[in-house]
Structure formats: C-alpha cells, structure tokens
Amino acid sequence: MSDQVLHVKGRVLAGPDEDRVHDELWVVGGRISYERPPGARDVATVEGWALPGLVDAHCHVGLDAHGPVPDDVSEKQALTDRDAGTLLIRDAGSPSDTRWIDDREDLPKIIRAGRHIARTRRYIRGYAHEVEPADLASCVAREARRGDGWVKLVGDWIDRDLGDLSACWPRGAVQEAIAEAHRLGARVTAHCFAEDSLRDLVEAGIDCVEHATGLTEELIPLFAERGVAIVPTLVNIALFPRLADGGEAKYPRWSAHMRRLYERRYDTVRAAYDAGIPVYVGTDAGGTLPHGLVAGEVAELVKAGIPPLEALSATTWAARAWLGRPGLDEGAPADLVVYEEDPRADVRVLAAPRRVVLNGRITG
C-alpha cells in the first residue's frame, strides 16, 4: 500500500442525509479518516462530490454468452466495471473460478454466489449446475460453502413442452434447499422472470429475487411482508422484445409473455418500491450484456419512478449495508468515486467519474 496520503475535499456523501455530508476526508494507509493525519507530507488532493464505490448487485465476472471465460477476459470485465465506478460486485452466478481477483488490489471486491443452480435442460447451456429436485438441497449446500454468503437458483425458465415460462422447482424442494442454505449461513436469490415461481420461493424463505418482472398486485404485499429484496436489472429487461422476436416462430406463447413482462416493467418496479420492497441496482453484466452499465441502471430506476436519491442509495449506501460492506466510514477501506457535479441532483452524473479510488489508490 502506498504511503501517500490522499485528501478528498468538496462534498463527501457518506450517507443520504445532510448530517452525513462532510467537507473532506483523508486516506491514510488505504483507509478513511475524517481527521487530518499529523505530519502528512506527500499529499495528493482530489476535489469534487465523493460517493462510496458503486455496487452492482447482479453482475457476472468470468462469464460470457457461451459460458466460462479465461482469466484475462475476467480481468477486462472487472476493470471495465471498476472504471465505471463499480467497486463492489455481487456476482450472481459464474462458472469461472475468480478467487484470484481477491488478491488484486486494483480490481473490484466481489461477493460470490457460486455457480447458478438450474433444473436439468432448463437454463443456458454451460452456465449452471443442472440437477433434479431430489439433488437440489445437496447442490445448494456445496455452492453455499463455495460462495461468499449467497447461493443463486434459477427459479423459472422456458419449458419447451409447454412453450412458455414455468417454475423449475416443486415447493418442497425449494423449502428444503433454502433451509439448508440458511443453516450454512448463506442467503439465497433466484432468477425469476415469470409469475408462477414467486409465491413458492418467497414462502420458502428466499432472501432476494433477480429481475422480478412477474411481480403482481397479489404478490407485492407478500414480498413486502417478508422483506424480500428485488434486483430488477432493467438494462437487461430492455432486451426482452429482441428475445421475443427471435422466439416468435417456435414459441409464440413465450414470446407474447415476454413482451407483456417488458411492457409493464416500469410499473412493476414502481409498485414494488411504493410497497416498501427493497430495490437494489444490478445490471446482469456478463452473459450477453457488456460490463460497466451501473449508471444506466440507476437512470432506469429513476425512469421507473423511484426518487433519484433512493435510486442512488440503491447502488451506494443502502446496497452496501444490505451486503454487509462499509461505505465512507471512519477506518473503512478507501473505496470511493469522485464526480464533478452533485449526483443527488442528477443521477446521470454517475456515467462520468472524475476519479476512482480503490483501496486508497487512484486508479487508471
């Protein structure tokens, strides 16, 4: 770690409330201090509006459209996210071993959910462990031990015999699997596009749902009551019309369903927010989407009707608290992003970081 002291001044947004806004902070030994270090000589100064490093709570480092990727590609993905201001990633499923990234102080911190767990022949080839319901709990246990406190299920996918989306797991299987994950100290999330998988997952004790396009007026109160978070990934849902067009000839029922989910996406997210469901920022980068999209996802949440400060919190203060990681706290690792203008006034500012500081070092 460099001995250089970093002085960040202007407006330091340590929280959403004015009493957590500071005029400056110092970085000493890679950690944050709100007191000027005595005798500091080699001081670098950064000015602007400082936020905690952004969070992408649904991202896939080590994955592309065809499955696992080599380490050099994973590195490029992580660097792209870093340069966009994303310094904390919840990796929502990857077949690649990216543990080596933990030893790199110049790459974002990753909280892993292990590898996707899907029903046999009910997900993208090469992405997931594919198992039958009788083996779900044991597979969840393995991934809970391999991950960083999360496990990722595929809750629904197209059933080719039905020609439409349908739930992948019987209720008893997910109850047993989620209970096993919780016994091992892991939280569980699930990929869910459609409506019919959601009630069983929530009543089985799931902690989060990815995409959640199938939320309905009937299901929203259940999510709110149980405190189940959602990560809408609206920049990914934007692809639904293209996917629907591609499947129209073979699966017209599925295509029509995907279009309906797309058309009501903003209403779904706003209704969830209004009901008190926790909403967090995730891009679904990796797979078919490029990395570095976190600013676009925040803008999409605002477009859906979430107030700008709340959308900003969903990728900063609230997201870090949810994942159990510090923000701009005294003694915390100095992971922060500095902007030329106030991102609270216009979230589009997030697309142009002035400086990115990771582990106390200015990157780039």
Contact 128, 114 (CB under 8 A): no
Mean pLDDT of 104-124: 97
To the question of pTM greater than 0.95 for the whole model, the response is yes
Domain range annotation of the chain: 5-51+327-362, 54-322
1 has a pLDDT exceeding 50: no
The second-level CATH assignment, the architecture, of 54-322 is: Alpha-Beta Barrel (3.20)
For the record, the structure tokens of 183 come out as: 């016994």
Secondary structure letter of residue 122 according to DSSP: S
The per-residue pLDDT for 3 is 64
The per-residue pLDDT for 39 is 76
CATH topology of domain 5-51+327-362: Urease, subunit C; domain 1 (2.30.40)
Contact 254, 247 (CB under 8 A): yes
What band does 343 get if pLDDT is binned at 50, 70 and 90? very high
The per-residue pLDDT for 183 is 98
How far apart are alpha carbons 298 and 84 in whole angstroms? 13
CA 107, 108, 111, 115 torsion: positive or negative? negative
The per-residue pLDDT for 92 is 97
